[in-house]
């Protein structure tokens, strides 16, 4: 019985999650995109503002290294020294020219990976963080599953065309970048234009310049990203930009004119959309029911990018439990959440915010057992009477 209830609970929560994350996509009208695959999303909400073959699996080249970098950062080993193996030193393609046996901090390898796109750095990181190249590839694919990259397969840490089963999609790479940009260290690395790394037993330091020309030369709103190229993948690029408190991510795959693609998409989005606060954290005003008036609050705000036309098409519906008969909640405990605000634009559901009740003596939720909590979540999911 308990197993069946847990299964139903999982399905209910999944139902809510899927619909709360469902994106609305728009097409840019006044310019063309050279990329075979492309996507533009707003970073905080994940809303897809533009897409072109965004779910088509393609080769991705060195933007693979975003995954390598975030795994290295999350390992907590950035201050530890890595000994470069013969295998890492001999990796083909773009290189930091690491020498077999030399030691340098993992942090320096991450900067060399992201700025200079060192393939030798990618292998050195993988061997150290994953215990072996194979172990790190396993970590890459597990992380991809964890964050929802459902159409991605990794088989190396650098993106070279040394394996047929190494590919992703523009959408999946945007999801990865959205995840990575939540990490302060990754943001710092990605936005660095130049980095100096002391070299063991040498009088001169290595100095790496960022290959991302959007960041270093072309686009004043650029906040970082990662370049990529192989003969089979062609030009790939991930970039981020911020203006007027709106953070954007663009991914292009096989794009002959990627710099222009990214700048055109960024400029179009900054001109066409604005992040609006649709639900404010704190006490919810306007509830007429006497039981709930001035007693219900939103635990966090809800913001979403909207075009000028959409701003007038926003609808917010408040759903609450029917008020209790007599004083039953005083003894059994107040259900938390007590309800939700559902937000839609032009009839399309874009999200919801749970609502909590300010109890007389604090939150009584801890006093309730599993079955009571399940019943509340179940009825909350299927909907209950709306209070005007």
Interacting residues of 308 by C-beta distance below 8 A, sequence separation 6+:
272, 274
Cα–Cα distance between 93 and 109 in angstroms, integer? 16
Q: How far apart are the first and last CA of the chain?
A: 37
For 47-83, give the secondary structure using H, E and C: CEEEEECCCCCECCHHHHHHHHHHHHHHCCCCCCEEE
Read out DSSP for 125-169?
HHHHHHSSHHHHHHHHHHHHHHTT-TT-B--SSS--SS-SS-BB-
Tell me the residue length of the chain: 388
Catalytic choice (85, 117, 121, 222): 117
Catalytic choice (45, 52, 65, 226): 65
316 is catalytic: no
Cα–Cα distance between 289 and 276 in angstroms, integer? 28
190 is catalytic: no
Query: ω into residue 337 within 30 of 0, thus cis?
Result: yes
- Indicate the pairing of strand 37-42 with strand 246-253: antiparallel
Helix or strand or coil: residue 227? strand
7 is catalytic: no
Q: Which two tokens stand for residue 72?
A: 């290295």
CA 20 distance to own-chain centroid: 15
Residue 15 DSSP class: H
Catalytic choice (45, 52, 62, 89): 62
Interacting residues of 269 by C-beta distance below 8 A, sequence separation 6+:
40, 42, 49, 50, 246, 248, 305
State phi, psi for 5 to the nearest 5 degrees: -65, -40
Cα–Cα distance between 25 and 39 in angstroms, integer? 10
Sign of the dihedral defined by the CA atoms of residues 259, 261, 262, 265, in that order: positive
Closest CA to 349 of 357, 358, 340: 340
Helix or strand or coil: residue 238? strand
Half-sphere exposure of 207 (CA within 13 A, CB side): 4
Residue 311 DSSP class: G
- Active site (catalytic) residues: 62, 65, 117
């Amino acid at each position: 019985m308990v197993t069946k209830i847990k299964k139903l609970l999982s399905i209910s929560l999944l139902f809510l999650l899927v619909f709360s994350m469902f994106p609305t996509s728009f097409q840019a009208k006044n310019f063309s995109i050279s990329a075979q695959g492309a996507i533009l999303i707003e970073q905080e909400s994940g809303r897809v503002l533009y897409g072109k073959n965004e779910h088509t699996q393609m080769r991705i080249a060195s933007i693979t290294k975003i995954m390598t970098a975030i795994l290295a950062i999350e390992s907590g080993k950035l201050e530890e020294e890595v000994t470069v193996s013969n295998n890492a030193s001999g990796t083909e393609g773009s290189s930091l020219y690491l020498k077999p046996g030399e030691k340098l901090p993992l942090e320096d390898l991450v900067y060399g990976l992201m700025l200079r796109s060192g393939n030798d750095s990618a292998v050195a990181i993988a061997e150290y963080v994953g215990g072996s190249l194979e172990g790190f590839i396993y970590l890459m694919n597990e992380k991809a599953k964890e964050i929802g990259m459902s159409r991605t397969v990794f088989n190396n840490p650098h993106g070279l065309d040394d394996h047929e089963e190494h590919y992703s999609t523009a959408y999946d790479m945007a999801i990865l970048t959205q995840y990575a940009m939540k990490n302060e260290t990754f943001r710092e690395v990605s936005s660095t234009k130049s980095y100096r790394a002391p070299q063991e037993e040498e009088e001169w330091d290595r100095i790496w310049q960022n290959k991302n020309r959007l960041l270093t030369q072309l686009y004043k709103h650029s906040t970082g990203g990662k370049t990529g190229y192989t003969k089979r993948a062609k030009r790939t690029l991930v970039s981020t930009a911020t203006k007027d408190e709106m953070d954007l991510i663009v991914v292009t795959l096989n794009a002959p004119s990627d710099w222009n693609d990214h700048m055109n998409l960024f400029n179009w989005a900054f001109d066409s959309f604005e992040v609006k606060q649709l639900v404010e954290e704190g006490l919810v005003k306007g509830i007429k029911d006497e039981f709930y008036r001035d007693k219900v609050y939103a635990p966090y705000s809800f913001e979403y990018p909207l075009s000028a036309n959409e701003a007038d098409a926003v609808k917010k519906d408040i759903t609450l439990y029917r008020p209790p008969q007599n004083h039953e909640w005083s003894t059994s405990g107040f259900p938390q959440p007590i309800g939700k605000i559902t937000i839609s634009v032009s009839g399309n559901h874009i999200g919801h915010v749970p609502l909590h009740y300010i109890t007389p003596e604090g939150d009584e939720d801890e006093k309730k057992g599993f079955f009571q909590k399940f019943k509340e979540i179940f009825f909350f999911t299927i909907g209950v009477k709306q209070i005007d």
